[in-house]
């Protein structure tokens, strides 16, 4: 028989969200009367707003006409790539530096192919799981103590370092995943922090994969929405982004990756050329219906709808955060991100998850699922219908009854 890819054995047993779903199913089976509310996953809940939705409908309608029909679009519609450059990057990138994808997660997985097995990888700890699991799958080599993973170094981001890692730990000539606004902590890096990150990456030859999937949640005008606001970043970073959390496209599937022409490997070859090659080889482009929706989202009316939708989720985040703070629970996030990161000192986060489910019938996400530094934290997601979020907040009031060590 054929052998199994040995990298598969290095993936942590049970990806975080399937494990949460399993525990939720078990609880529901044992308590059929319970009305469970989820503040757990990062899946959007609200309908796509009318202007953007019309763009999707029109995109589908066009496909039924001789003049409007289109087939493969490879690296994406030129008009969409140009519009992304204008809206998000003040026009500084050429269309051939912007690659349209079927979502940020898919690109994060594919990006590993640029660097291959043996790459030294570091992630923020805690971090979005695909950075680690994608790296493990490609065979990132070397063993970093204490993580259970091969080749992945966890850089702790805790209250003590204001959720920003020690940059002396960046892997020289390696890869570093950085997410801001951050999932799961909900914190957003300042301009000073990102400048320090870029400077350290330039010095060490580290490539930064900057995940800006939540950039449209930033309300503080002093906070950078893109790594490319920082001088020097085009020589050491690429950036992934998405319409998922801004326009509600989690199910539609549309994102993009910026790979600057200046970004080169040790041998001087352009990363951009390889990314183009990889996209052409294993990805045939995003859905043209989704791209029509994306174009509508970036028109003036669509951008207003993005603001409206993200304002709505930020309103949920405020309610959750205020509820937790009233209970004396220390938390961060929720102001420029749809996640609240709540600390339960000295407690195991899966235990707290179970207690919240038992006591409040609310699903949350145990921080330990995002990395060792997430232990004793719980992530609350602001994606939910308002009445359910309000009811969840009311029920979270029962948390005070949980004995704290
Ligand atoms: N990046 C981060 C940090 C996320 O939290 C998520 C989804 O939860 C994604 C990327 C995935 O985005 P997409 O839906 O575009 O694949």
Q: Is the CB of 183 under 6 A from ligand 1?
A: yes
Q: Is the CB of 105 under 6 A from ligand 1?
A: yes
From 16, 41, 105, mutation site for ligand 1 pocket: most ligand atoms within 8 A of C-beta: 105
Helix or strand (DSSP H, E) at 153: strand 152-156
Question: Quick one: which of 113, 149, 102 has its CA closest to 129?
Answer: 149
Residues 6+ apart with CB under 8 A from 51: 296, 299, 301, 302, 304, 305
The CATH number of 52-300 is: 3.40.640.10
CA 336/CA 221 separation, integer angstroms: 10
Average pLDDT over every residue of 284-293: 96
How much is the pLDDT for 405? Answer: 45
How much is the pLDDT for 14? Answer: 60
Other Cβ atoms closer than 10 A to 89: 17
CA 176/CA 151 separation, integer angstroms: 12
Residue 333 reports pLDDT greater than 70: yes
Mean pLDDT of the chain: 93
Residues 6+ apart with CB under 8 A from 50: 305
How much is the pLDDT for 372? Answer: 93
In the chain, where are the structural domains located? 11-40+302-396, 52-300
Tens of pLDDT, residues 70-126:
999 878 999 999 999 999 999 999 999 999 999 999 999 999 999 988 889 999 999
Q: Which residue has the tokens 């490997």?
A: 265
Residue 196 reports pLDDT greater than 50: yes
Contact 36/28 with Cβ under 8 angstroms? yes
Tens of pLDDT, residues 197-227:
999 999 999 999 999 999 999 999 999 999 9
Tens of pLDDT, residues 129-142:
899 889 888 887 55
Q: Is the CB of 182 under 6 A from ligand 1?
A: no
Backbone φ and ψ for 314, nearest 5 degrees, come out as: -65, -30
Residues 6+ apart with CB under 8 A from 64: none
How much is the pLDDT for 402? Answer: 46
CA 55/CA 319 separation, integer angstroms: 32
* pLDDT confidence band for 150 (50 / 70 / 90): low
Record the pTM.
0.95
One CATH from 3.40.50.150, 3.30.70.600, 2.170.16.10, 3.90.1150.10 for 11-40+302-396 = 3.90.1150.10
Contact 286/104 with Cβ under 8 angstroms? no
């Amino acid at each position: 028989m054929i052998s199994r890819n040995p990298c598969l054995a290095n993936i942590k047993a049970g990806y975080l969200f399937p494990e949460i779903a399993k525990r939720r199913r078990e609880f529901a089976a044992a308590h059929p009367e319970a009305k469970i509310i989820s503040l757990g996953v990062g899946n959007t809940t609200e309908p796509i707003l009318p202007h953007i939705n019309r763009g999707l409908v029109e995109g589908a309608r066009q496909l039924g006409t001789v003049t409007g029909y289109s087939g493969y679009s490879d690296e994406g519609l030129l008009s969409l790539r140009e519009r992304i450059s204008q809206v998000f990057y003040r026009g500084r990138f050429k269309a051939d530096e912007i690659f349209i994808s079927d979502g940020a997660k898919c690109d994060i997985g594919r990006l590993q192919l640029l660097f291959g097995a043996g790459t030294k990888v570091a992630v923020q700890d805690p971090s979005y799981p695909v950075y680690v699991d994608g790296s493990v799958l490609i065979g990132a080599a070397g063993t970093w103590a204490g993580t259970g993973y091969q080749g992945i170094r966890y850089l702790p981001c805790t209250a003590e370092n204001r959720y920003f890692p020690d940059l002396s730990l960046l892997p020289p000539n390696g890869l570093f995943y950085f997410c801001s606004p951050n999932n799961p902590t909900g914190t957003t890096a300042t301009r000073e922090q990102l400048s320090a990150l870029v400077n350290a990456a330039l010095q060490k030859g580290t490539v930064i994969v900057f995940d800006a999937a939540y950039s449209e949640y930033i309300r503080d005008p002093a906070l950078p929405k893109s790594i490319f606001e920082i001088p020097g970043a085009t020589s050491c970073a690429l950036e992934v982004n998405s319409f998922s959390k801004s326009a509600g496209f989690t199910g539609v599937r549309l994102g993009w990756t910026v790979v600057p022409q200046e970004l080169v490997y040790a041998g001087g070859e352009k990363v951009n050329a390889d990314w183009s090659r990889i996209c052409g080889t294993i990805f045939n482009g995003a859905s043209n219906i989704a791209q029509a929706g994306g174009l509508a989202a970036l028109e003036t009316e669509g951008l207003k709808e993005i603001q409206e939708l993200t304002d709505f989720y930020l309103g949920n985040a405020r309610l959750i955060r205020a509820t937790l703070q009233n209970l004396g629970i220390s938390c961060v996030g929720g102001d420029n991100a749809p996640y609240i990161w709540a600390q339960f000192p000295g407690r195991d986060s899966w235990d707290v998850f179970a207690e919240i489910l038992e006591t409040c019938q609310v699903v949350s996400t145990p921080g330990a699922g995002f990395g060792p530094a997430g232990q004793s934290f719980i992530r609350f997601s602001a994606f939910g219908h308002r009445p359910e979020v309000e009811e969840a907040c009311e029920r979270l009031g029962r948390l005070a009854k949980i004995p704290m060590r």
